[in-house]
Amino acid sequence: MNSRPQSQVPVAALQGALAAEHAAVWVYGLVGAFVPDALSRRLNEAATTHQARRDATQRILIDAGAAPVPPEPGYLTPEPVTDAASALRLTITAETDAAAAWRSVIERSPADADLRGTALEALTDAAVRATRWRATAGASPLTVPFPGAP
Amino acid sequence: MLTVGTALLLAGPAAVTGCSPSARAPTGPDPLESPARRAETDAALAQAVGQNAAQAHPALAATARALAEDRMTHATALRAELRRARPGPASTNALPPAVPAPAAPAAATPDVSAARTGLAQAARAAEDEAAGLVVTLPGYRAALLASVAACCATHAALLS
């Protein structure tokens, strides 16, 4: 557990990534009630992944001497979640937000940092998951050329 | 003799670390050159698959057309960054081909699974190349290549 020098760690960007992971964990907790049981395995896997990223991001921030942002007491969704279609759109939103937050970590990390590898893995994972949810939702297009780009 | 030996000794570490001013001088190929060229090659491959499979395999053709569009967008963005970094006439002709023109025959084959495999392999290779550059490039470029890598991963996922 070697702690990173604080100057090397883009604390604000990591707090953004942590906030996105908190939100994603909340989203996957919510949508389970609205989507068919056949999707529950994928939902659980996504929830587990985001929980692990949330925990790892908290540890990085603590190691850097920063206080990790807590989850919000509640989240405002872009639209009411009332059925499978709106629930799937929310998972796509959560993954898109996570991709953007992790891309920002890459942009603000120093070169050669382990952090860039961690952030790239998180960005890639969010992008692939968003594409898979778009396919499940029948959305089009299924891909975007620059996942995470503003 | 001694002078030559000393010079070599001094040149060695600087070349390895890549931190010396000469390593940053814009003489060698820009590291974005290879991913830009690969994006163009991949776009051409995907476009060919999109055309050849249009009749018999419309689903694969649609995927291939979407891939071609994304990869052309990558090429355009990478070329724009290359021009921004080194304004002036492009020196791309002086470079050896960065990509050993992959899977081009797959586009012409009627075998749909071979075409699909060719596209998937190209996507994985592009992801690997872009991901490798994410660690070393400056922030803006690292983020650009990170998005390219992530996009190519979504392509591979669609083809798997």
Q: Tell me which chain B residue has its CA closest to the CA of residue A130.
A: B154
What pLDDT, in 10s, does the model give residues A8-35? 899 999 999 999 999 999 999 999 999 9
Chain A partners within 8 Å of B127 (Cβ): 124
| Beta-carbon separation of A107 and B155 below 8 A | no
Distance CA(B158)–CA(B85), nearest Å, equals 34
Confidence band (pLDDT; 50, 70, 90) for B110?
low
Q: What is the pTM of this model?
A: 0.85
**Secondary structure letter of residue A68 according to DSSP:** P
Are A131 and A148 in contact by the 8 Å Cβ rule? The answer is: no
Cβ proximity of A133 and B158 under 8 Å: no
User: Which of A109, A131, A148 lies nearest to residue B147, judging by beta carbons?
Assistant: A148
Q: Is B11 on the interface with A (CB under 8 A)?
A: no
CB of A103 less than 8 A from some CB of B:
yes
Distance CA B85, CA B73 (A): 19
**How does pLDDT run across B42-96, given as a tens digit for each residue?**
999 999 999 999 889 999 999 999 999 999 999 999 999 999 998 876 555 445 4
Residues of B in contact with A148 (CB under 8 A): 143, 146-147, 150
Q: Given this model, what pLDDT does residue B73 score?
A: 98
Q: How far from each other are the two terminal CA atoms of chain B, in whole angstroms? A: 59
ipTM confidence score:
0.94
**C-alpha atoms less than 13 angstroms from C-alpha of B143 in its C-beta half-sphere:** 18
For A2, A110, B152, the CA distances from A114, given in Å and listed in that order, are 12, 9, 22
Environment class of residue B61 by beta-carbon count within 10 Å: exposed (0-12), middle (13-18) or buried (19+)?
buried
Per-residue pLDDT for B109 more than 70? no
